Amino acid sequence: MSNRPFQHGMTPSQNHDEVAREEAVRVMRFHLYSQVSQGTRAYFTNVVAPEFAKAEQRPLTDRAEVRRVMEDKPYVKFHLSLQRSVQEVMWNTVIENIERQLPEMNGRAHALDRGLGSLSLDPALEVPRYVANVDIHCMPGGYGYDAGLDDSVAAGAIYDRGISMYGRGSEGFLGQSVIAYLKKNFPNLRPAKILDMGCTIGLSTLRYAEAFPDAELHAVDVAAPCLRYGHARAESLGRKVHYSQQNAERTSFADASFDVVISTILAHETSTQAWKNILAESHRLLKPGGVMVHADLPQFADIDVYSQFLFGNETKFNNEPFWSTFRAMDLKQAMIEAGFASDQCYLDIAEHTDAQQGMRNTKMAGKSPTGFGWGVQVGIK
């Protein structure tokens, strides 16, 4: 797989030093998630867990207890502080690159608009606190960051560059997993209208455009800078998407508008109540027989106790306030409360489709044939 950023009309330019710096961060991330992280797992499995079992005469099965015995170990401290540092260096690297060319990029976004799809912004929209007040995953300014400019694409550009370091150039990998899941489990699905909720800059959305070229594709997000960037990106790639700035908890679409309602890694960035509202909105928006698929990282119940400890670090050290509460939520019950019949909604695994190394320290033993995948909430109306 190439490490070169995927090229499109909005791709920021990079000088020699910026290419080198980005590559250094990418390699550092890879080392962290493949080597350092595996070292911590081995240390837990071979040393910490057996010592605990010997001393306490019982196995370590509780994630809070894992934290208690792991957190003060020097190797673990080194791992966790390195993880936080790499995250901060990653965003700083990206931000310096974007800020030096932001006015040009804002202008470029206007110039790329050739009216293929559409962009509808709502300056009066009240952005929910769980987005507006959080620099999520330590991304400075969060999804709404606009550098004080009215027509800014800042947060969209920053997210695009940052996420490419997470995915190591595997563009839209989440959407690819969802498509593979839909094609395998709903082979007769021929959607006329699709809604992607929490689309950010449309990385997954454009995968749906490729996979279902006859469908009318809508994508909503609350963050205007991400939508501006995503719209311009889609136009530059010749993809027709209707982007609108809306809260997925209560959109303006009519009842029974869509054959498919999708989201990718939206759930864990919303509050418990917001996610319940989004499930109810998904149900309202589906046509009878329509399919909802919301993909995210797996629930605590689907992963081993060491991975649960790793997941918890996202809440503790990476500004992901809802990460852990979402993992413990009863999603089946939430789908039923949202209106889905009990025998028409379930939790499943959508396999990874390609090398998603950034996520591969979380193993779902026994739950997925390959041991790697996304947790999906599926509902049929």
Ligand X SMILES: C[S@@+](CC[C@H](N)C(=O)[O-])C[C@H]1O[C@@H](n2cnc3c(N)ncnc32)[C@H](O)[C@@H]1O
Enumerate binding residues for ligand X (CB under 6 A): 128, 131, 143, 174-175, 197-200, 203-204, 220-223, 226, 247-249, 264-266, 269-270, 274
Residue whose CB is less far from ligand X, 70 or 297: 297
* Shortest Cβ 19–ligand X spacing (Å): 23
**Position closest to ligand X via CB:** 198
* Shortest Cβ 299–ligand X spacing (Å): 17
Residue whose CB is less far from ligand X, 93 or 200: 200
Residues in a beta bridge with 280: none
Residue whose CB is less far from ligand X, 40 or 170: 170
* Shortest Cβ 269–ligand X spacing (Å): 5
Residue whose CB is less far from ligand X, 158 or 345: 158
Residue 317's nearest CA partner among 53, 8, 79, 61 is 79
Residue whose CB is less far from ligand X, 82 or 180: 180
* Shortest Cβ 199–ligand X spacing (Å): 5
* Shortest Cβ 247–ligand X spacing (Å): 5
Residue whose CB is less far from ligand X, 97 or 245: 245
Contact 22, 161 (CB under 8 A): yes
* Shortest Cβ 331–ligand X spacing (Å): 17
